[in-house]
Amino acid sequence: MLRIYSLMLLPALSVCVLAQSKVGIREVDFKNRTFPFTADKFADLPGRIRVRNGLYHSPHQEPGMTYTYFKVAEVVFGDLTGDGQDESAVVAIYGGATSDYYETSVYLYTVKGRRPKLLAVLNQKDVGKEYERLSHEGKSSLFEAVAGGTTIKGGRLTVKHLAGGAHCCPPNVFTLRLKLKAGKLATANKSLRKKREAEERIPHGAGDR
């Protein structure tokens, strides 16, 4: 009787082992990971950036503030490819330690073969080009990303940036929606509207750098 009971347990144990071996995108630790850096504005950031606890500082003499930082600021999830499985959008910000300005890159990941796979990178320079085509104001009038403004929903990646006017007080929000086509991000639509009172930059105070 005991032998039969043990055999009956085998299928259940197999299912349990398979479930434990399956790695979902939500289990990936993006705050301790290496990211490719493809933006061209900050020369002292390396081509591959290893973040620890979500943060990287370029080499510098302590306690000096002459470094450039790279920070994983937000991670959001949603089905971008339409396969019923979540992808992730990792929002990274980077800039000088003493500067009030930073830029943003969005890294899109999926899971393939139990490992996270990079699908695409959206740099702020790319968003700036789309903003310029819509507003005719120039890329220099596109500023920091809106906190909580990056989402994946309905098979589209949405990013939002403050825009227009001066850096201190931009009056508008530029929204860009993209979809993944043949492995590349393609613009679905874009819009420009007045900034709402609750919309703010992703926090990047001294304690965040």
Residue 42: which pLDDT band, with cuts at 50, 70 and 90? confident
- 75-133 per-position pLDDT tens digit: 999 999 999 999 999 999 999 877 888 999 999 999 998 899 999 999 999 999 999 99
Token pair belonging to 105:
């890159």
- Asked if 122 contacts 178 with a C-beta cutoff of 8 angstroms, the reply is yes
Which positions ≥6 away from 194 have C-beta within 8 Å?
171, 172, 173
**pTM for the whole thing?**
0.86
Gap between the Cα atoms of 99 and 68, Å rounded:
9
Sorted by where each begins, the domain ranges of the chain are: 24-208
pLDDT tens column, 189-207: 999 999 999 999 998 766 6
